[in-house]
Amino acid sequence: MWYFTEEQRQLAQVCKDFAQNEIAPKAEHHDTHETFNIEAFKKMGELGLLGITADPEYGGAGLGATEATIVMEEFGKACPGLTLSYLAHSMLCVNNINSNASAEQKAKYLPKLITGEHIGAMAMSEPGYGSDAVGMQCKATKADGHYVVNGNKMWITNAQYADTVYLYTRTGKDKKDLTTFIVDTKDCEGFSVSKEIHKMGMRGSPTGELSFENAKVPETNRVGNEGDSVHHMMKNLEIERLTISGISLGIAQACVDQCIKYATEREQFGKPIGDFQMIQKMIAEMAAETEMMRSFLYDSCKLWDEGKVSNTRAAMVKLQLPKMATKIALDAIQLHGGYGYSREFPVERLMRDAKLNEIGAGTNEVMIMIIAKNLLREAAQR
């Protein structure tokens, strides 16, 4: 973007080089075998990227949504699946702890998460509560110096690898009586990863179901007071929706790049298919849509960093960018013809990966509800 600082441009280049050297060469392998590129993930810690929004006193970079989204875009071009795991670690776990935990909790958990020694996850959704996250039923009951947690969490990114889980639970009867805990998975008796989830796309990102059966969590691991979590949840969802849209932008740009390359190399009727007006129309529209996505997203990130972005704006970004990325990926498959439908070219994988972002961090339908509700309420107050 034209208003990026020199430091932001340098960050983009570092991430681009890392993605080309460490992520892209293994993306197809990890998608095929549903495995996790943990080696590249650990190296992100060496680059200082795993705590990109965390305070420097704990080893973080102390940067904002703009820089986090730059990383998402560059990594998302190479392997959206691994980038989703990066987001779950850096934005859903690390950023939440950095924003909401006590100084003692930050000092205990953030350094190892930021170096990559530990891997983080966030547990919000449940088997019966996805879009209605506030209706969750995983319950934490206070005992003598600890809480006893019972319930399941579903669709948890990094579940099988997580050392630290930022866990949302119910602690009261009111719908908003939600409380958060930091769970040490290796030391938590009664905790288990009960099921691995196999997905259509984002297969390079491990996903599973977490089970808590009379699991004991120390009271000192509670984040804030009982009932504080709804506010924490809604605030972090805004930056999650912006940054996950960075992955969608990366997918769209990767599709455009692949189509330009293919159109110059593939010949039909004795000339490159890029000479045909129909192909030119497809590429031109895909490129224009991608630039529209980029401007809307980074403008919104800049507003977030200035404390000016609204819940409505974040929902608009999350609604439009993933939808456009899926459309662009489908167009890329069409442009590639039979090769696009095969696994010989990456556009097939990119299309499967793109669809997840229309579901995770709030479905398209939920984004529409948020946007319309906010706009109508604002109109009624005028």
Vertex 74: Cα angle to 207 and 280 (nearest 5): 110
240 classed as catalytic: yes
Amino acid code (one letter) for 276: F
Q: Are 248 and 293 in contact (CB under 8 A)?
A: yes
Rounded-to-integer distance, Cα 352 and Cα 198, Å: 13
Closest CA to 71 of 242, 303, 316: 242
Rounded-to-integer distance, Cα 242 and Cα 361, Å: 10
Closest CA to 130 of 153, 100, 104: 153
Beta strands in 100-243 (DSSP E): 120-123, 139-142, 146-157, 164-170, 178-184, 191-196, 207-218, 222-223
Q: How many C-beta atoms lie closer than 10 Å to residue 196's C-beta?
A: 12
What does R_g of the chain's alpha carbons equal in angstroms?
21
The SS3 of residue 43 is helix
240, 291, 306, 344: the active-site residue: 240
Q: How many C-beta atoms lie closer than 10 Å to residue 4's C-beta?
A: 16
User: Using a CB cutoff of 8 Å and minimum separation of 24, what contacts does 363-370 make?
Assistant: 363/131, 364/319, 364/322, 364/323, 365/131, 366/131, 367/241, 367/315, 367/316, 367/318, 367/319, 368/319, 370/311, 370/312, 370/315
End-to-end CA distance of the chain: 35
User: Which residues are known catalytic residues?
Assistant: 240
